[in-house]
Amino acid sequence: MARVTYLTKDDLDEADKPLLERSGINLFKALANNPRAARAFAHLGNHIRHKSDLDGRIRELAILTVGYLARSPYEWSHHIKIGYDFGVSDADIAGLIAEAEGRDSDLDALARLACRAAREMTLAGAVSDATFKALEDHLGHDLIIELVLAIATYNAVVRILGSLQIDVEDSYMSYLDKYPLPEN
């Protein structure tokens, strides 16, 4: 059960009602308790998902790695669905799980590097020199910034979700059934 109230559009001032255009999403309903913070959060998320030049599949594999390693049911379930929308396949999900656990996978080289960067940032706080150099060869500085920004942001998001104890909506539970998170 969430630690803050899930607000509806009816709870908000007229100027803040657009914050809940995705009214079924519990994270936004919780963040609406502070409309200015919710607006800033949404602005960054919108850039990462819709304005970045980074390939959406690569971005989602990195975000899913964060959700998997953080054992965040909300993040994991939501980004499996979002990942599918950006071309992530079931084979990709199996591959990112292997990569998150430090095992080899059949992912392509860039996908493996993105998952490795997410694993390193999530577990060690930074991308290693070797991973950064390999990413630089694939992406260049502009897209490395986009990847690092996405990974860092979703490391923050999983902490927000955990701290506010945001509930997974029923419509996302099937993703957790299909790909349950490990206990530890």
Global confidence as pTM? 0.96
pLDDT in tens, 18-45: 999 865 699 999 999 999 999 999 999 9
Domains observed in the chain = 50-178 (1.20.1290.10)
pLDDT in tens, 42-79: 999 999 999 999 999 999 999 999 999 999 999 999 99
Q: Name the residue type at position 123.
A: L
pLDDT at 132 over 70: yes
1: helix, coil or strand?
Answer: coil
Q: Are 13 and 26 in contact (CB under 8 A)?
A: no
User: 22 or 171, which is more confident?
Assistant: 171
**Integer Cα distance of 162 and 82 in angstroms:** 20
Tokens of 114: 């993105």
**What is the reported pLDDT for 23?**
59
Tokens of 134: 């390999």
